[in-house]
Amino acid sequence: MQEKKNEIIVPSLTWVSDINSVIMNGFKPVFVDIDLSTLSTSSEEIIKKISKRTLAVFITHAQGFNGLTDKLLKYLKKKDISLIEDVCESHGAKHKNSKLGTYGLMSNFSFYYAHHMTTIEGGMICTNNKSLAIKFKNLSFHGWNRDPWLRHKKSLNMEF
């Protein structure tokens, strides 16, 4: 019998909202210590904690630092484990030549007034997964379609 993948590896330095999202969705958080040079989870510690029950790794890129390593990205790809990136404090930061928030299955950004880019409140979720994008959009509008451009494109029989 295959074990259920219900664990998400999370950093010991993050915000309660990240951990709450894991718990409230029925997953078990597995805490990993940070690398003091990046304030993000230690890639070595993540790899040690990965088990047959690991569904995803949730990384927080804190204080503008990059928490990714090539070794970690390669390992997650090999094991088919999703990456979730919290980029709330690291808008514009990069790993190699790509912006943080573009490596994982999904990423979140905050526009809270104390962060690098602000609208006083609110945020943004990014994904390149069409199914997740539709779910996120529906959640943001509480299930209502309030997007006039989408309605306009449909009336013109354009693909979206």
Q: Which residue has the higher pLDDT, 1 or 74?
A: 74
Task: Look up the pTM and report it.
Answer: 0.78
Tens digits of residue pLDDT in 112-142 = 666 566 666 677 788 888 888 888 777 766 6
Query: How far is 20 from 44, CA to CA, in rounded Å?
Result: 24
Spatial separation of the C-alpha atoms in residues 48 and 137, rounded to whole Å? 35
User: Length of the chain in residues, anyone?
Assistant: 160
Domain boundaries along the sequence of the chain: 7-128, 129-160
Neighbours of 60 (CB within 10 A): 26
- pLDDT attached to residue 120: 67
Indicate the pairing of strand 98-99 with strand 106-110: unpaired
**Dihedral sign, Cα of residue 87, residue 112, residue 19, residue 2:** negative
List Cα–Cα distances, 106 to 44, 126, 144, in angstroms: 22, 5, 22
Residue 158 above 60 pLDDT? Answer: no
Q: What is the pLDDT of residue 160?
A: 47
| Region of 143 on the Ramachandran plot (φ > 0 left; ψ -120 to 50 alpha; else beta) | left
- Chain mean pLDDT for the chain: 82
Catalytic residue (choose from 115, 116, 142, 152)? 115
The residue among 45 and 118 whose pLDDT is bigger is 45
67, pLDDT greater than 70: yes
Antiparallel, parallel or unpaired: β 94-95 and 98-99: antiparallel
152 is annotated as an active-site residue: no
Q: What is the CATH topology of the domain spanning 7-128?
A: Aspartate Aminotransferase; domain 2 (3.40.640)
Listed ranges 43-52, 58-67, 96-105; the one with the highest mean pLDDT = 43-52
Residues 8, 82: Cα–Cα separation, whole Å: 9
Indicate whether 25 pLDDT > 60. yes
The amino acid that residue 12 corresponds to is S
